[in-house]
Structure 1
């Protein structure tokens, strides 16, 4: 059993409150850069999403790409390159020329937890990437097929103990935030629940609606179905309740004290990308994420923009790697 201790949010300690972040540098309109980046970009930029279309990683990348095109006149292409828990797409970026024209919309799996899950990693998350900025944090909402007689975390635990191995949950792939949240719940609650990985979370939703899996952890794609009564919101995996669903309790306060898991998303470039280009991308993307309409669109999907400096993102990745590395080693989860 993993003993999780209550502690301040890593994001709170590293970046401060999100409202404070959005108040920073409100007049940042000049994006001047040193000569090395003065003519950047001269051709289309490719943002690789290592998961399927329709999930929050994909949605966030496309919001950024569209706004870069509208505001800066840049040509930005989003490419979904799936497989191996995000490792295929991430490895493609890691091997790309470090010139600012290939970027990764990374996440907890690709940039923090996968090295502890996969025995043979095709890249090194710390050495092969240059952090640009944190982009958003996401709410992990435990949503259940409503045909099951489960209305709370405690009822889920009780049902799983009475029917060991019968329940299953879906995730966006091995090492994805939903997978980590599910395995942490299994360990802390002492239950036997089967994991079903998908190539991105969006394909899991039809199976959840059809009852082929019992639950998943998702807000962005599941919230409309929750509002329609087609899915049941049970609890929030994050340390705090969601602004979008303030009446839904956290898992920690409804059956598993000390439990905490959340999703996050950040933009990365290949290691060796010139510093002036990294700074220009940081300024452009941060400016987009501070825009109120973008913020509201993300909040409606259970996500919250969370900009950072490259150095702050590097420190956050280091902390997340340490946290989930311990969890995965304790669970003895490893894949080839």
Structure 2
């Protein structure tokens, strides 16, 4: 080997050693500046509030500001693309939802990312139930009545959704498949407009999230059931769809913390640890109760990935049978 080659080899070895030596120090110093938490939907609503709760908790525990950066568009696609393009240094993370990570892969051809392969799965963070509601003066009195009227009047009952391909769309689509009925889909630009449409008499029913509960408690809506395996703590008097004779009609929304692929293991472990500690704080638990949401039963990365994989497989045949495509 010539002297020049020996010198180049030695320099490469030294450079590699320097990088290896710097990596643990870098992770040990994390974080030393503010952290951006992407939220892949618009500001306002349940999910954005949950992002703020987590950001505030992590700010306290990490000693650096964690701020929420809303990147709406494409049913969450814009936010996921922004995360995929971010530097994997722990200073850009994202609170994502099951609607994008488990439903879009079956609804959108050419999805520009893989929810499993293209990201690090830091922690499962929250779970939240869903509820079936009608207007308080609706002739539909209970869940059995909804089933009977939907079967007897194909194409007559209407359901409002938060948009084509949203969870508000998938839940009644599954109901129709299980019930042998055919209701008419009326998409709105978000969950709140869908509820306003129901209150205005524009639709017959909404299968939506628990932000409907204040309307139920105010006597403006009637809850027919929750789409959960267990009754939800925020509304323990509302029966589950399993109790009502349709155990396969379940949709439990979940939220998880993602990071760019290649983020150092030490940083991922720190974020996971501090997320779990944040969720255990009494003040955070009180905030979640107000938002009708629970901390995830397991905050591990493995549980998060398992849920994405399982729910993607469960909803794919429902999406295909209904011919549902994302907007």
TM-score category, normalised to shorter length: 0.7 to 0.9
In the alignment, structure 1 segments of 5+ residues that lack a partner are: 1-32
1:309 to 290, 296, 300: 300
Query: Using the alignment, how far apart are the partners of 1:243 and 1:182 within structure 2?
Result: 23
For residue 101 of structure 1, what is the aligned residue in structure 2?
91
Q: Secondary structure at the match of 2:267?
A: helix
- Is the 8 Å Cα contact of residues 134 and 221 (structure 2) preserved in structure 1? yes
Shift of 1:219: 4.3
1:40-78 alpha-carbon deviations (Å, 9 max, x no partner):
223322222222333322121110112223343321221
2:200 to 202, 205, 210: 210
1:159-188 alpha-carbon deviations (Å, 9 max, x no partner):
223443333333334443332222111111
For residue 321 of structure 1, what is the aligned residue in structure 2?
312
CA, structure 1 residues 46+235, in 2 after alignment: closer, same or farther (shift >3 Å)? same
Q: How many residues align?
A: 304
1:194-227 alpha-carbon deviations (Å, 9 max, x no partner):
3344444233332232222333233442111111
- Is the 8 Å Cα contact of residues 167 and 208 (structure 2) preserved in structure 1? no
- Rg bigger for which structure? 2
2:283 to 276, 293, 298: 293
Query: Using the alignment, how far apart are the partners of 1:241 and 1:137 within structure 2?
Result: 13
For residue 136 of structure 2, what is the aligned residue in structure 1?
146
Query: Using the alignment, how far apart are the partners of 1:53 and 1:154 within structure 2?
Result: 36
Q: Determine if the alignment matches structure 1 residue 170 to structure 2 residue 180.
A: no
Shift of 1:267: 0.8
Q: Determine if the alignment matches structure 1 residue 223 to structure 2 residue 217.
A: no
CA, structure 1 residues 244+186, in 2 after alignment: closer, same or farther (shift >3 Å)? same
CA, structure 1 residues 285+257, in 2 after alignment: closer, same or farther (shift >3 Å)? closer
For residue 45 of structure 1, what is the aligned residue in structure 2?
35
1:91-139 alpha-carbon deviations (Å, 9 max, x no partner):
2212222222222211112111211011121211111111011111111
2:238 to 232, 248, 252: 248
CA, structure 1 residues 270+97, in 2 after alignment: closer, same or farther (shift >3 Å)? same
1:227-247 alpha-carbon deviations (Å, 9 max, x no partner):
111111110111222222222
Query: Using the alignment, how far apart are the partners of 1:200 and 1:47 within structure 2?
Result: 22
For residue 188 of structure 1, what is the aligned residue in structure 2?
178
When you count helix as a share of all residues, which structure comes out higher?
2
Query: Using the alignment, how far apart are the partners of 2:187 and 2:70 within structure 1?
Result: 17
CA, structure 1 residues 49+200, in 2 after alignment: closer, same or farther (shift >3 Å)? farther
CA, structure 1 residues 87+213, in 2 after alignment: closer, same or farther (shift >3 Å)? farther
CA, structure 1 residues 100+195, in 2 after alignment: closer, same or farther (shift >3 Å)? farther
Q: Determine if the alignment matches structure 1 residue 330 to structure 2 residue 317.
A: no
1:261 to 228, 251, 255: 251
Give me the CA root mean square deviation.
Answer: 2.2
After the TM superposition, list the runs of 4 or more consecutive aligned residues in structure 1 that deviate by more than 6 angstroms.
Answer: none
In the alignment, structure 2 segments of 5+ residues that lack a partner are: 1-22
Q: Secondary structure at the match of 1:221?
A: helix
Taking structure 2 as the reference length, the TM-score comes to 0.85
- Is the 8 Å Cα contact of residues 93 and 102 (structure 1) preserved in structure 2? yes
Q: Secondary structure at the match of 1:97?
A: coil
